[in-house]
Amino acid sequence: MFREAKSADRLTWLGRGLGALADQGLVSSSGFLFTVLLGRWLPPEQYGAYTVAISVFLFQGCIHQALLLEPMSVFGPGAFREHLPEYLGELFRLHIGLSVVLSLLLGGGIAVFGRALHGASLVSALWGASLGLPCIFFFWLWRRASYLEPKPWATLRPAAAYAVTLLGLLALFRRMGWLSAFTPFLLQMIAATVAGGLLLARSRPKLRGLGTNPQFRIILKGHWEYGRWAVATALVSWMSGGAYYVLLGAMLRMEDVAGLRALQNIAVPLPQFVTAMSLFLLPHVAAKFANDSAASFCGSTRRMIFLLGGCGVVYLLGVLIFGPSLFRYLYGGRYAESVGLIPLLAAPIPLMAASEGLAMALRAMHAPVEVFRGYLAAGMVTLCAGVPLVRFRGVGGALLCIGLSYLAFTLVLAHRYRARLEHIAASRVAAEPAAAPAERHDAKLSVFGVAVRKQESRP
């Protein structure tokens, strides 16, 4: 009976994993093709402007994710499990308010500083980001919400609608000669609205319910207490990645920004795979931490890190072997000066993948402050080394510094994860009754799989 239940549980998670990969595969592959085709069809200066704008857009997306999406994945399967429709209704309201504020802030910044920006293409691209932000974030919200329930295959139809709409409109706009630095955000906005509407109809959130319950304010306070660290994390994480597009655009040319983006498009599928896995792995690991044994949580974390790190190694080898020929094929001979930088691009890929496993475990432990510390270390690398490397080494300097940032991030997270485990293990050992010294000795070795340096009690 136990073995049958365990086998059924594994099959359930296998199905959820395959569903998440299929959903993410549709959205990510369409996004990848969309970005590559823009690199082929837009002039390099406009493609560089779009890349800087998407970097700013993703910076704001980090804030939205930190305040809404990440806490939802952690608390949704736990505290809100019995009131999920009401919870989603409250998050919908928060999404509307937050996305409108972020859109207005970006639009206000363009209005004030637009004349100081690097050319008309960049101003146009940023206006597109400001206009498309609420609708694209709307899609993100309901995609993430769909993973709170064990029905990931139900998201395939919205994902297919997004892919078909996005690529169909791109082909139409190219045929009509309407492509510019502004229009990619318009196309993404339309596709996100179509797919988000389908997901909203499936989720059916209740817009009135827990919001009238005084206890819900306490839960929202926990949401904020988690999210505020995630916001700080988002700000410093952007410094270790997206900031390099802004640095290149400010110090060099938009064509250099386009070259860096063209290179990183080759590495994008793996982070998108990791994102797909995290959509169902984070709620799973968070539930393990909240409800299951310490050994079960640690075992899940180790498997998650080895899975993601192994995928990173395989992807690294693929990029080194096939990357140069694939790069030339994708861009039709454009950005040829960047081909020699592919090894620098590929080097940190396994670190990136494995470190996300550590980050998910720490988030599941309700310790986003530790992830913040990791990104802070990576951001300090950018501040100290990024500016001079970009200034004097250009795109190659940016790639080298990105690799150093990933290394700093991984080392800090590994250290803090270990420290958290030892702290929890020591707390649990200290809390055990003093009446059973022999049992305390056995428990000391098994709590979270961490040996705790503590004076042993002898009978």
- Domain-wise residue ranges, the chain: 19-239, 268-429+441-449
What is the reported pLDDT for 62?
A: 85
Q: Which of 74, 6, 17 is nearest to 289 (CA)?
A: 74
Res. 438 pLDDT band, cuts 50 70 90:
very low
Supply the mean pLDDT for the chain.
Answer: 81
Pairwise CA distance, residues 132 & 79, whole Å: 32
Scanning the structure block, which residue is given the tokens 């059924």? 8
Evaluate whether 131 touches 264 at the Cβ level (below 8 Å). Answer: no
Give me the half-sphere count of Cα atoms (radius 13 Å) on the Cβ side of residue 347. 14
Pairwise CA distance, residues 30 & 36, whole Å: 10
Q: Which of 279, 195, 202, 194 is nearest to 21 (CA)?
A: 279
Scanning the structure block, which residue is given the tokens 């930088």? 341
Is the per-residue pLDDT at 382 higher than 90? no
Share of the chain above pLDDT 90, in %: 32
Q: How crowded is residue 327: how many other Cβ atoms within 10 Å of its Cβ?
A: 23
CA distances (Å), 92 to each of 99, 148, 183, 337, in order?
10, 15, 27, 46
* Cα dihedral: 118, 122, 123, 124 (round 10): 150
Residue type, 110: I
Res. 278 pLDDT band, cuts 50 70 90:
confident
> Could you tell me which residue, 444 or 252, shows the higher pLDDT?
252
Backbone φ and ψ for 43, nearest 5 degrees, come out as -60, 145
Element at 388 (helix H, strand E): helix 387-431
* Both tokens assigned to 160: 């297919």
Share of the chain above pLDDT 70, in %: 80
Pairwise CA distance, residues 98 & 104, whole Å: 10
H-helix segments, 292-386: 294-331, 342-346, 349-364, 368-381
Res. 439 pLDDT band, cuts 50 70 90:
very low
* 293 conformational bin, left if phi > 0, alpha if psi -120 to 50, beta if neither: beta
